[in-house]
């Protein structure tokens, strides 16, 4: 019996990238092992310098995760018990956790139905005397409406922390995300557009005193060994991860462009299929497609067809933060945020990563087409 070898399409595959970079990465990490110098050394300083420059920010403080970056940023702004921080309910839970771990309360709001990012009108309505900061998320790699967010913050005297954990290198009106608010936070979780070999994160800011405070908080409140100015923590990124990030940072723009080309090709071929809504890209920003998310008429059917034919897919995220068990104390039941709740049943993330091959992408598109036809999906209002 002859069997045709099926082309599988993983949701994300990092192995090819490693094969391409192996020599460079080996050369970058070998001296660290040889010197047995693993913590807060030159590789960390070098990565911080280059990532600050990349973001167009004056300072970068590297940390051990995106969650740590958000937590540290809010601590540096003195967010604490009694305070509220406004953020979007359709984010990864880390955004809210960082607020909670400062002792403050996440004040969740709904999102724009087209961009899936924080709706400025709802932000405005959520402000009260407890509001301390705004925490816009650049979801899926598309900048939030920062003009409106910064305007609202200015009017009400609030700080702005950007959750740029999915948006390394995305531009908003020509400026890199992360550099727009008071503090920008990034994750280098392996699957992010810039990812390391484990966990990592970074904070960028133009504010020198905030930078110093975050640097102290990251390392036990200390600049000089065994002299502790404030009570800090251990939030450090290690030298091995920093060295790997420095290698990869040089490729980030090229990888983002590949993602953008793949996204454009998905959209060109999917947008006319009935029952499929493709992502809308705002005029004044660039979307770097950490995730390529469509809305579909019958997600379960499509996911089953994908699974049967070896195609990966994901849902980001299946349950908004306000409906998570962990946040039941917020007392926000179903019906609180209609846009996010409607989206959670329709959104589907398709495979996208720089090394995705044309024939793999074609297979994904063919399956969407055949399911839509077989199920007679109806024409949907476009995005």
Ligand X SMILES: *Cc1c(COP(=O)(O)O)cnc(C)c1O
Q: Does 189 bind ligand X (CB under 6 A)?
A: yes
Query: Near ligand X by CB under 6 A, which window of 8-16, 55-63, 111-119, 161-169?
Result: 161-169
| Cα 134 from Cα 323, distance rounded (Å) | 21
Q: Do the Cβ atoms of 169 and 253 come closer than 8 Å?
A: yes
Using an 8 Å Cβ cutoff, are 281 and 228 in contact?
Answer: no
- Please tell me whether residue 178 binds ligand X under the rule CB under 6 A: no
# chain residues binding ligand X, by CB under 6 A: 15
Task: Tell me how far apart the alpha carbons of residues 73 and 96 are, in angstroms, rounded to a whole number.
Answer: 13
Smaller CB distance to ligand X: residue 348 or 371? 348
Compute the least distance from the CB of residue 281 to ligand X, in Å: 18
CB 228 within 8 A of CB 213: no
Determine the Cα angle at 79 with ends 218 and 202, to 5°. 35
If binding is defined by CB under 6 A, does position 90 make contact with ligand X? no
Closer to ligand X by CB, 71 or 363: give it.
71
Pairing of strands 201-205, 183-187: antiparallel
149 in contact with ligand X (CB under 6 A): no
Nearer to ligand X, 140 or 377 (CB): 140
Q: Is 193 in the site for ligand X (CB under 6 A)?
A: no
What Cα–Cα distance (Å) separates residue 301 from each residue in 176, 235, 279, 308, 374? 38, 43, 20, 11, 10
Stretch that binds ligand X, among 86-94, 218-226, 239-247, 299-307 (CB under 6 A): 86-94
Site pattern 289..308 for ligand X (x: CB under 6 A): --------------------
Q: Which residues pair with 171 in a beta bridge?
A: 176
β-partners of residue 39 are 238
Beta carbon nearer to ligand X, 287 or 363: 287
Interacting stretch for ligand X, rule CB under 6 A, among 39-47, 62-70, 170-178, 269-277? 62-70
How many CB atoms within 10 Å of residue 300? 9
Residue with Cβ nearer ligand X (187 or 361): 187
Under rule CB under 6 A, residue 94 binds ligand X: yes
Neighbouring CB atoms inside 10 A of 2's CB total 3
Binding positions for ligand X, rule: CB under 6 A: 65-67, 91-92, 94-95, 137, 163, 165-166, 187, 189, 199, 201
């Amino acid at each position: 019996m002859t069997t045709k070898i099926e082309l599988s399409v993983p949701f994300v595959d990092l192995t090819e990238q490693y094969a391409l970079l192996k020599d460079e990465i080996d050369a970058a990490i070998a001296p660290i092992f040889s010197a047995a110098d693993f913590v807060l050394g030159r590789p960390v300083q070098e990565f911080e310098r280059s990532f600050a420059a990349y973001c167009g920010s004056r300072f970068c403080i590297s940390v051990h995760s995106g969650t740590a970056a958000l937590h540290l940023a809010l601590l540096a702004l003195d967010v604490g018990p009694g305070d509220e921080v406004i953020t979007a309910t359709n984010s990864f839970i880390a955004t809210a956790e960082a607020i909670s771990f400062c002792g403050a309360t996440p004040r969740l709001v709904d999102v724009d139905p087209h961009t899936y990012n924080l709706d400025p009108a709802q932000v405005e309505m959520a402000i009260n005397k407890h509001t301390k900061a705004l925490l816009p998320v650049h979801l899926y790699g598309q900048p939030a409406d920062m003009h409106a967010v910064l305007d609202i913050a200015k009017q009400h005297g609030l700080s702005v922390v950007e959750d740029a954990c999915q948006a390394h290198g995305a531009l908003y009106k020509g400026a890199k995300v992360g550099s727009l608010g008071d503090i920008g936070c990034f994750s280098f979780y392996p699957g992010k557009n810039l990812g390391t070999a484990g966990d990592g994160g970074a904070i960028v800011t133009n504010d020198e005193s905030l930078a110093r405070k975050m640097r102290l908080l990251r390392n036990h409140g200390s600049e000089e060994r065994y002299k502790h100015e404030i009570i800090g923590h251990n939030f450090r990124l290690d030298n091995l991860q920093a060295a790997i990030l420095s290698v990869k940072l040089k490729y980030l723009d090229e990888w983002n462009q590949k993602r953008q080309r793949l996204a454009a090709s998905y959209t060109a071929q999917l947008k006319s299929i009935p029952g499929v809504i493709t992502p809308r890209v705002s005029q004044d920003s660039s979307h770097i497609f950490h995730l390529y998310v469509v809305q579909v008429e019958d997600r379960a059917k499509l996911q089953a067809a994908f699974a049967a034919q070896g195609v990966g897919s994901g849902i980001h995220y299946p349950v908004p933060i306000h409906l998570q068990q962990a946040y039941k104390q917020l007392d926000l039941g179903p019906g609180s945020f209609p846009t996010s709740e409607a989206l959670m049943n329709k959104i589907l993330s398709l495979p996208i990563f720089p090394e995705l091959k044309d024939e793999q992408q074609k297979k994904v598109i063919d399956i969407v087409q055949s399911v839509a036809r077989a199920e007679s999906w109806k024409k949907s209002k476009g995005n």
